[in-house]
A and B are shown apart, each in its own frame.
Chain A
Amino acid sequence: MGKVLMKGNEVIGESAIQAGCKYFFGYPITPQSELVAYMAQRLPEVEGLFLQAESEVAAINMVYGASSAGVRVMTSSSSPGFSLKQEGISFLASAELPAVIVNIARGGPGLGNIQPSQSDYFQATKGGGHGDYNTPVLAPSSLQEIVELTDEAFRIADEYRTPVILLGDGMLGQMMEPVDFEVTKDNKEFQKDWATTGTVGDGPPKTITSLDLDDVRLEERNKQLQIKYKKIKATETKVECYLMDDAEVAVVAYGTVSRIVRSAIKRARDNGIKVGLIRPISLWPFPVEKIAYYSNKVKSIITVEMNAGQMVEDVRLAVEGKVPVTFYGRTGGVIPSINEVHEQILSMVNEVAK
């Protein structure tokens, strides 16, 4: 097949299908509608099922139902629609149901606009809905990485029985670049003996629920969830370091913004500035160890985001005050330019030299 050109949204759809996702419940919203359209066209071709729900709330609850039956299932939305799904995501987390939920984020708050944004970072990484839970969050920065991380999202979802969030933005969803689908994928088979597929006298009836009126039992469920989250933190953290070996200052950025940062870093390197990039790929679990490691090596760190300063809090927690951590961001769907980021790197270097 070789490399093909597709929009980011379509790449998510094709990657999901290749990961064995046969069920998709969604509702259109810009800038992720191409994903819904792609699934509507492709899923019948692979004997899957596409259903446009009457709302985002309905779609996430359909995901709950399909996942209970043990199949690989996905839904997607963009910021305002993703907020509507939060109750359902909390239910999925509590009932320990695997699913992949895509957020191609746009400018907020409220209805906001349709331009790219990273202002849903808190919502995605800190639980989002009610109750004590987290969901793994994967943030691709290129269309090729979507192929890899969509496959990973389904693997992690099944491995830990948890909803997994694939977080992108309008830029990632709308842009095109060549992708190769013929890459190594995880083909692990999962035995879902917990799925409610009906019993044939082979054991007691199975129950999937997020309700438990007994406080002690619910606390036990919470403890089990926390044990699971600890395991995910220990094994599923993903991060990329770029030009960090000799770096004297560092930029932390994720997703599409990290590509703008990369260009700015090259510009700064051309002028002899030793700057590198730490790019969290999993936003939860957050790459605390890697950032802590480099906070002993660099003199200063800046976090660049398309929001008012969200991931910077996690960076500061990881750095523990060892070096200054500053922030630069644009909001409302404005994309920071390479020049702006370059200027920020220069002023950080000037500050360090003082």
Chain B
Amino acid sequence: MKEEIIIAGFGGQGVMSMGQFLTYAGLKEGKEVTWFPSYGPEQRGGTANVSVVISDQPVDSPVIDEPTAFLALNKPSFNKFYSHVKESGNIFINSDLITNYAKRNDVVIHEITATQIAQHIGNERIAGMVLLGAFIEKTGILSKESLYSALKDVLGESKKHLIPMNKKAILEGIHVMQD
């Protein structure tokens, strides 16, 4: 099993952390993982993206040209990678922020009202976590338990209080895919 994932959005939407959650969760499951961030000046204000590979085999290229999964948090980022997604790949989009685009018929697009769901939980900044939940449910590449446990590793002691809210967002994402 192998997933090549690109997560993209505005700087500040938690793109890098989302990638880290997946990477730590992958390591916990004994999988091979790489995490490669865009670290250019685009991080401030513009689009930020991270490439994560999760695989049963050692990972060659940490740079992805045809992602099997794409998590898009805003329109500019969506536009940047949309056409690159591999045939029959999964695209998870925050449909509260991304509308009016030309549909591709060779990929699976999951439109999720992530901002609304996140607002309902109590903080729109965790919209990305809803997409993460949807991603693991759809692909089955990671269990929700390992993703939960990765929250602790990445957020650390100082942000421990954010864990319950993030868990809730992941769970909501899972539910969206189950419905």
Contact = CB atoms under 8 A, between A and B. Distances in A.
Interface stretch (A118-126, A281-289, A334-342): A334-342
Contacts of B63: 171, 260, 335, 337-338
A5 interface: yes
A174 B62 CA distance: 11
B24 A263 contact: no
Contacts of A178: 27, 32-33
B40 A113 contact: yes
Contacts of B37: 174-175
A3 interface: yes
B35 interface: yes
Contact of A171 (B36, B41, B66): B36
A176 interface: yes
B11 to A, nearest CB: 15
Interface residues of B, number: 20
A262 B36 contact: no
B27 A259 contact: no
Contacts of B66: 338-339
A175 B62 contact: yes
Contact of B62 (A113, A170, A177, A266): A177
B70 to A, nearest CB: 16
Interface string A18-52: 00000000000011000000000000000000000
B152 to A, nearest CB: 13
B154 to A, nearest CB: 9
- Chain A interface, DSSP helix/strand/loop, else mixed: mixed
Q: How large is the interface on A (under 10, 10 to 19, 20 to 34, 35 or more residues)?
A: 20 to 34
A5 B24 contact: yes
A114 interface: yes
Interface in B32-49: 32-37, 39-41
B62 A338 contact: no
Nearest to A342: B65
A259 B62 contact: yes
Contacts of A175: 34-37, 62
A177 B61 contact: no
Contact of A177 (B20, B35, B39): B35
A175 B63 CA distance: 10
A260 B60 CA distance: 7
Contacts of A170: 39
A266 B59 CA distance: 12
A329 to B, nearest CB: 15
Interface centre among A171, A176, A178, A335 (most CB of B within 10 A): A176
Contacts of A260: 60-61, 63
Contact of B59 (A5, A113, A174, A177): A177
Given A113-B40, A339-B65, A3 B35 contact: no
Given A338-B65, A339-B66, 19 more contacts: A3-B27, A5-B33, A5-B35, A114-B41, A171-B36, A174-B36, A174-B39, A175-B62, A176-B20, A177-B32, A177-B34, A177-B35, A177-B59, A177-B62, A256-B62, A259-B60, A259-B62, A263-B61, A338-B63
Q: Which 4 A-B pairs have the closest CB atoms?
A: A262-B60, A263-B61, A337-B65, A176-B35
Interface of B: 20, 23-24, 27, 32-37, 39-41, 59-63, 65-66
15 contacts: A5-B27, A5-B35, A114-B41, A174-B39, A175-B34, A175-B35, A176-B34, A176-B35, A177-B33, A177-B34, A177-B62, A259-B60, A260-B61, A260-B63, A339-B65
Interface of A: 3, 5, 30-31, 113-115, 170-171, 174-178, 256, 259-260, 262-263, 266, 335, 337-339
